[in-house]
Amino acid sequence: MSRKDHRFTESPVLKDQLASWRIHFVSALIFGALLALVGRAFYLQVIHEDFLQERGDARYRRVLEIPASRGKILDRHGDMLAQSTPMRAVWATADAKLDKEQLKALGDLLEMDPRLIEKKLTGDKNFVYLKHQVSPDAAARIAALKLPGIQMDREYSRFYPAGEMVAHMVGFTGKDDRGQEGVELAFESRLIGANGERTVIKDRRGQIVEEVGSERPPQDGEDIQLAIDSKIQFIAFNALRNAADKFNAKGGSVIVADIKTGEILALANWPTYNPNNRSQLSGGQLRNRAVTDSFEPGSTMKPFVAALALDRGKYKFDSIINCAPGKMTIGSATISDAHPHGALTLAQVIQKSSNIGATKIALGFPSEDMWTMFSKLGFGKPVGLGFPGEVGGRLRPWQTWKPIEQATMSYGHGISVTVVQLAHAYTAFARDGDVVPLSLVKTNGAVAGQPVFAPETSRQVRQMLEMVVSPEGTANKAAVPGYRVGGKTGTAHKLVGGRYANKYLASFVGIGPISDPRLVVGVVVDEPVGGHYGGDVAGPVFSEVMGGALRTLGVPQDKEIAPAVVKTASAVASQPVANTAALAKKKGGH
């Protein structure tokens, strides 16, 4: 090597040695970085593994809910009143890009305008429902199209085979399959069941590519068997509807109760609605009038006053009560009978429906005694059926009663009740003195009641009630061919804006057969036109329902059918007005 080339190897820079501390520092940095990477990897893969797994699962793993089938609602014989039918919900992901032909095919199967579907798909949402309650057949045809981004989930649709006939009792569910009214709402916790779930892996388009994990099967809801008898329900509903049409009534209710078990065999209301199609539904149609509407019951309360008189030994069946001259003044108010009567026996006071007679009986007792009796009969508090919106009527504390108010309560003014409460109270006459709890669901036989009257008292009142449907009574139209029946009419003015208006509420509550009671039937017709007396409007409904129900149950007849029906003059009863002097001048009917 020449001297000239050697000079480059002898550069002073190359001759300088790197300081040892710098070597160790750089090595330490490299080693520290390696340790940090190893530590981070250990932290993520060992210590914090659940977090990464969760984040990964969030992108691909899905827990899908498996809906439970809602429990069925059945009548006492097992006939279907409500059931859930499997359906499909069709939805789309953000990857659902459909051409015009695909949009048209999907629209035809969903019965939707393709333009509406396209509008939903062009939104900024990653998930959008296209339609709920799609039939299984249509869903299968949609699946066969294999449209990108179009998915389906299982859901249920509630179907009501009996339709409007039992609408108010059974109720209905909403779009989420939750109870909204009636038994559907009252027994929600038992009907709803518990949803199951399954875990799947989905791709970015929302397609299920793998089933993973364990599947928890759904627990279907409990079936509810009601006490209702569909045949008797049809009879009651049909009779009420015909009466409402005949008298152009605003509404009405009918209840049929088995006095041995307390089971409600029928509960019908008018107007009604179709629970399978509620698109044109108004709020008034939803109201279960039998449990939500209270009213002044009128003369249907008189038998209770007579029972109190018998029970306390102050009167006998044939005790004479002077009802002349048909008017009676209490303070500044005047009570009157629609037609004046002279001397009447206790039984005839009920048969002729005398307000004067009922008033004289009532005023012979302390107000506390009457209040206690009414309270034991269940007035002033809900019956306890569990129906949404059930009311208890109005029974004011006895300490606030004035003599005129105690008098008017004896014939059903100044107190309000529901038709269910009336039927419940009348079980005391049918069951030899004790009221039986009413039940919506089927029971397992006879139940114990709460004593109110002595058995002999109730038997004598039954005789009085049978006299009411005789030719000399106020409700001969309530008679049932082949059966001994009895009951009491009620005709009350309606309160409108705090005043009694020229509008009426006609009612009838009765028992049959008298020889061995089986049923109590209560009828209320709201604002009938062309007739308003309880015996003329509600009496025939009672006759049709009681007769049909007894025959349906196979109850033996206890009365010979007369070869001909003798027409009699209209029986007379009274129904003045209420508990104020200004209203005491008004007159009502039977």
Other residues' Cβ atoms within 10 Å of the Cβ of residue 408: 29
Residue with tokens 């990897």: 41
Cβ atoms of residues 97 and 149 within 8 Å = yes
Cβ atoms of residues 21 and 160 within 8 Å = no
Beta bridge partners of 500: 495
Is-catalytic flag, 410? no
Distances (CA, A) of 538 to 89, 239, 577: 48, 10, 20
Nearest C-alpha neighbor of 590 from the set 400, 353, 385, 409: 353
Read off the tokens for 168.
């108010």
Q: How far is CA 332 from the centre of its chain?
A: 44
- The DSSP output letter for 470 is S
Beta bridge partners of 270: 252
**Which position among 157, 253, 299, 336 bears the catalytic label?**
299
- The DSSP output letter for 169 is H
Phi, psi of 563 (to 5 degrees): -65, -25
Nearest C-alpha neighbor of 343 from the set 323, 328, 359: 323
What's the CA gap between 590 and 580, in Å, rounded? 20
Cβ atoms of residues 435 and 427 within 8 Å = yes
Cβ atoms of residues 433 and 458 within 8 Å = yes
Q: What is the DSSP string of 45-74?
A: IIITHHHHHHHHHHHHEEEEEEPPPPPPEE
Q: How far is CA 222 from the centre of its chain?
A: 18
| Helix (H) or strand (E) run with residue 459 in it | helix 455-468
Distances (CA, A) of 472 to 351, 425, 467, 476, 566: 8, 25, 8, 8, 12
Contacts of 370 (CB under 8 A, 6+ apart): 305, 308, 362, 398, 406, 409, 410
Read off the tokens for 462.
């039954």
What is the SS3 assignment for 112? coil
Roughly what angle, to the nearest 10 degrees, separates helices 136-145 and 100-110? 170
Contacts of 382 (CB under 8 A, 6+ apart): 291, 390, 391, 392
Burial of residue 163, with CB atoms counted within 10 A of its CB: 0-12 exposed, 13-18 middle, 19 or more buried: middle
Read off the tokens for 66.
């498996």
Residue with tokens 């793998």: 210
DSSP β-ladder status, 80-93 and 150-159: antiparallel
Phi, psi of 360 (to 5 degrees): -60, -40
Other residues' Cβ atoms within 10 Å of the Cβ of residue 161: 13
| Amino acid in the structure at residue 24 | H
| Helix (H) or strand (E) run with residue 93 in it | strand 80-93
Residues identified as active-site: 299
